[in-house]
Structure 1
């Protein structure tokens, strides 16, 4: 793309809601070596005041990645995957994610900066629940070897 700033403000939305399943939560907890029982046992989660098992704090990366794949597949972005590394990630929670949540996610490109011949692409992914309530915002920075801007 000849004008990378034209990507700033672009939004990429998952085409359908993501239903958080117990086994999704448990599998991620195991992969992360999360040992708190609220991630694995319904009874422990309910005893702690949650409706079901609680997703580990990095769980929104699943939704963020799905949205990021839509961005990377956009021909206007002009990004080749072999030139991309993950630079940074963060999460700002309104409430925890629990099994049974039906979530929507929208990624927005917030900035593109050139640094040392590379492009730094910042994006926010806003995750909402079935009622439209804010759950979490996941932030990410991608480093793209070679500048996206011409």
Structure 2
């Protein structure tokens, strides 16, 4: 009999250019928004109170900017369980992330997630996967898109590739989604104007935002993992604490969520951010939390560019713990009200 076994790398290459659609739509719940906001230490009132969200122009409770990581974690788990069965989640490193936000998520949104496998290449002991995610709401509107790079240690060979790629939800050779170039009208918030508490005309390139310091413990890591449904992280962190291992590593999307909370607290409007970019795979990026103490993290930012015509600013974000940088690079693009 002919040996048809293939590597996991071959699985990904067979999927490249195609789309995987999540099998079950995800409905954004009010309490889940509050749980996630607590997990990333984002205490902007719009994440906790419908009245505060209404003051910003939304008809439901506003989700923090990186809330979509819950949905993406669910879909990633689904893909690893059914399509890319040769990879282990514990051997996948989140290298970098770009998140484009057409509108924020709000309570009662029902979302479908499409995953596009853009490319795969092999480097040293890793497969480098470039993946695009597209969140589509109940109105058929694209609300968020993400570009992700994952580093996956090469897994063992897995047979029956033909059966793998024929699973429900996968469609081969679909065209790339057409991404909007302008901000569409948000169905839940209407045609809203940003409600930043900082005036665009007061900004200058090089200006710094006030520093915010937060603390992160083992319990915080376990709580975040529970909220996003990352059972592997819960087991690793809890086992480390019980067995006396020296530290646990904070995931990249938790740090990015806390960076988004930092911007919300300084700008006043969580929905004003239209893009996040972050590089996690960097020798400085590991935030190690000791088992019986909390680590202090200092967030700061500065303006790197201004676009007066579009009333937009780019803000570089820096996060440090014990003097060590936690991002290779991180930045956000923020939209401000148009001039009168």
Deviation for aligned residue 1:76: 5.1
Q: Aligned residue for 1:85? A: 93
1:34-88 Cα distance to aligned partner (Å, 9 max, x none): 0111111110000111111111111111111111112212355521333222222
Shift of 1:138: 2.1
Q: Is there any run of 5+ residues in structure 1 with no aligned partner, and where? A: none
Q: Aligned to 1:146, which of 139, 154, 171? A: 154
- Check the 8 A contact 2:87/2:154 in 1, yes or no: no
DSSP-derived class of the 2:90 partner: helix
Q: Which residue of 1 aligns with 2:102?
A: 94
Q: 1:53 aligns with which of 41, 53, 61?
A: 61
> Deviation string for 1:95-133 (max 9, x for gaps)?
111111111111121111112231111211110111110
2:145 alignment partner in structure 1: 137
Deviation at 1:139, TM superposition (A): 2.3
The alignment's C-alpha RMSD in Å is 2.0
Structure-2-length-normalised TM-score: 0.41
Counterpart of 2:77 in structure 1 is: 69
Distance (Å, rounded) in 1 between the aligned partners of 2:155 and 2:81: 18
Contact 1:87 1:143 in 2 (8 A): yes
Answer whether contact 1:64 1:107 (CA < 8 A) is retained: no
Instruction: Find out whether 1:42 has 2:42 as its counterpart.
Output: no
1:30 equivalent in alignment to 2:38? yes
Name the stretch that deviates more: 105-114 or 5-14: 5-14
- Do the aligned partners of 1:68 and 1:107 also contact (CA within 8 Å) in 2? no
Rounded Cα–Cα distance in structure 2 between residues aligned with 1:106 and 1:75: 14
- Residue number among 14, 17, 27 corresponding to 1:6 in the alignment: 14
Give the number of equivalent residue pairs.
149
Structure of greater Rg: 2
- Give the Cα–Cα distance (whole angstroms) in 2 for the partners of residues 94 and 139 of structure 1: 14
What runs of 5+ residues in structure 2 fail to find an aligned partner?
Answer: 1-5, 158-340
